[in-house]
Chain A
Amino acid sequence: MHPVLKLVIQRVALGLVLLLAVSVVIFLGTEALPGDTAQAILGQSATPVSLANLREKLGLNEPALSRYLTWLWAALHGDLGVALTNGVDIATAIGQRLGNTLFLASAAAVIAVPLAIILGLVAARYNGRWPDKLISGITLTTISLPEFVAAYFVIYLLTQVIPIFQPVAMVFPGMGFWERLHAVALPVIVLVMVVLAHMMRMTRAAILNVMQSAYIETAELKGLTPMQVIWRHAFPNAVAPIVAVVILNLAYLVVGVVVVEVVFGYNALGQYLVDHVTKRDLPVVQAVGLIFAAVYIGLNILADVISIVSNPRLRHPK
Chain B
Amino acid sequence: MRIPLSALVGMFLTASFVFMAVFAQLLAPYPIDSAVGGVWEGPSATHWLGTDTIGRDIFSRLIYGGQITIFVALASSLLAFSTGAFLGFLAAVRGGWVDQVLSRAVDLVMAIPSLIVALVVLSVLPLNLTVLILVIGLLDSTRVFRLSRAVAVDIAVMDYVEAAKLRGERQSWVIFREILPNALTPLVAEFGLRFIFAVLFISTLSFLGLGIQPPLADWGGMVKENKDGLIYGKSAAMMPAMAIAALAISVNLVADWVLSRTSSLKGGRGA
Interface centre among A19, A21, A146, A282 (most CB of B within 10 A): A146
Does A148 sit within 8 A of B, measured CB to CB? yes
Of the candidates B108, B111, B120, B200, the one whose C-beta lies within 8 Å of that of A296 is B111
User: Which residues from A are CB-within-8-Å of B122?
Assistant: 277
Shortest B248–chain A CB gap in Å is 4
Q: Is the CB of B108 within 8 A of A149?
A: no
User: Which residues from B are CB-within-8-Å of A263?
Assistant: 227
Of the candidates B120, B123, B207, B230, the one whose C-beta lies within 8 Å of that of A155 is B230
Does A144 sit within 8 A of B, measured CB to CB? yes
Q: Is the CB of B207 within 8 A of A259?
A: yes
Shortest B119–chain A CB gap in Å is 5
Q: Contacts A148-B204, A259-B207, A296-B111 hold; do A289 and B120 have CB atoms under 8 A apart?
A: yes
Q: Is the CB of A144 within 8 A of B116?
A: no
What residue of chain B has the Cβ atom nearest to residue A37's Cβ?
B124
Q: Contacts A153-B241, A167-B231, A259-B204 hold; do A35 and B124 have CB atoms under 8 A apart?
A: yes
Docked Cα-Cα span, A259 to B249, in Å, equals: 20
Interface members, chain B 207-261 (any A CB < 8 Å): 207-210, 220, 223, 227, 230-231, 233, 235, 237-238, 241, 244-245, 248-249, 252, 256
Does A13 sit within 8 A of B, measured CB to CB? no
User: Which residues from B are CB-within-8-Å of A297?
Assistant: 111-112
User: Which residues from A are CB-within-8-Å of B121?
Assistant: 29-30, 33
Does B107 sit within 8 A of A, measured CB to CB? yes
Q: Is the CB of B230 within 8 A of A160?
A: yes
What residue of chain A has the Cβ atom nearest to residue B232's Cβ?
A160
Taken residue by residue from 226 to 238, chain A's Cβ proximity to chain B (1 for < 8 Å, 0 otherwise) reads as: 0000000000000
Does B42 sit within 8 A of A, measured CB to CB? no
Shortest A230–chain B CB gap in Å is 27
User: Which residues from A are CB-within-8-Å of B241?
Assistant: 148-149, 152-153
Shortest A293–chain B CB gap in Å is 4
Does A4 sit within 8 A of B, measured CB to CB? no
Q: Is the CB of B223 within 8 A of A35?
A: no
Q: Is the CB of B230 within 8 A of A33?
A: no
Of the candidates B109, B112, B120, B220, the one whose C-beta lies within 8 Å of that of A285 is B120
Q: Is the CB of B112 within 8 A of A296?
A: yes
What residue of chain B has the Cβ atom nearest to residue A284's Cβ?
B123
User: Which residues from B are CB-within-8-Å of A292?
Assistant: 112-113, 116
Shortest B29–chain A CB gap in Å is 25
User: Which residues from B are CB-within-8-Å of A286?
Assistant: 120
Docked Cα-Cα span, A300 to B256, in Å, equals: 27
Docked Cα-Cα span, A296 to B111, in Å, equals: 8
Interface members, chain A 16-64 (any B CB < 8 Å): 18-19, 21-22, 25-26, 29-30, 33-35, 40
Does B125 sit within 8 A of A, measured CB to CB? yes
Does B203 sit within 8 A of A, measured CB to CB? yes
**Interface-forming stretch among A74-82, A115-123, A250-258?**
A250-258
Q: Is the CB of B245 within 8 A of A285?
A: no
Interface centre among A18, A140, A144, A258 (most CB of B within 10 A): A144
Interface members, chain B 102-158 (any A CB < 8 Å): 107-109, 111-116, 119-126
Does B196 sit within 8 A of A, measured CB to CB? yes
What residue of chain B has the Cβ atom nearest to residue A297's Cβ?
B111
User: Which residues from B are CB-within-8-Å of A18?
Assistant: 107-108, 111
Docked Cα-Cα span, A21 to B112, in Å, equals: 11
Interface members, chain A 76-123 (any B CB < 8 Å): none
Shortest B96–chain A CB gap in Å is 21
Docked Cα-Cα span, A101 to B200, in Å, equals: 23
What residue of chain B has the Cβ atom nearest to residue A153's Cβ?
B241
Taken residue by residue from 195 to 226, chain A's Cβ proximity to chain B (1 for < 8 Å, 0 otherwise) reads as: 00000000000000000000000000000000
Does A145 sit within 8 A of B, measured CB to CB? yes
Shortest B40–chain A CB gap in Å is 13
Docked Cα-Cα span, A19 to B108, in Å, equals: 9
Shortest B149–chain A CB gap in Å is 19
Shortest B128–chain A CB gap in Å is 12
Of the candidates A21, A30, A141, A146, the one whose C-beta lies within 8 Å of that of B200 is A146
Interface residues of A (CB under 8 A from B): 18-19, 21-22, 25-26, 29-30, 33-35, 40, 140-141, 143-149, 152-153, 155-156, 159-160, 167, 251, 254-255, 258-259, 262-263, 273-274, 276-278, 280-282, 285-286, 289, 292-293, 296-297, 300
Beyond contacts A148-B220, A152-B238, A277-B120: 4 other A-B pairs, Cβ-Cβ < 8 A, are: A33-B121, A140-B256, A160-B235, A274-B119
Q: Which 7 A-B pairs give the minimum distances between C-beta atoms?
A: A144-B248, A146-B200, A277-B123, A285-B123, A35-B124, A293-B112, A149-B241
Enumerate 15 A-B pairs (CB-CB under 8 Å) in ascending A order.
A140-B256, A141-B249, A144-B196, A144-B248, A145-B245, A145-B248, A146-B203, A146-B204, A152-B223, A160-B233, A274-B208, A277-B208, A292-B116, A296-B111, A300-B111
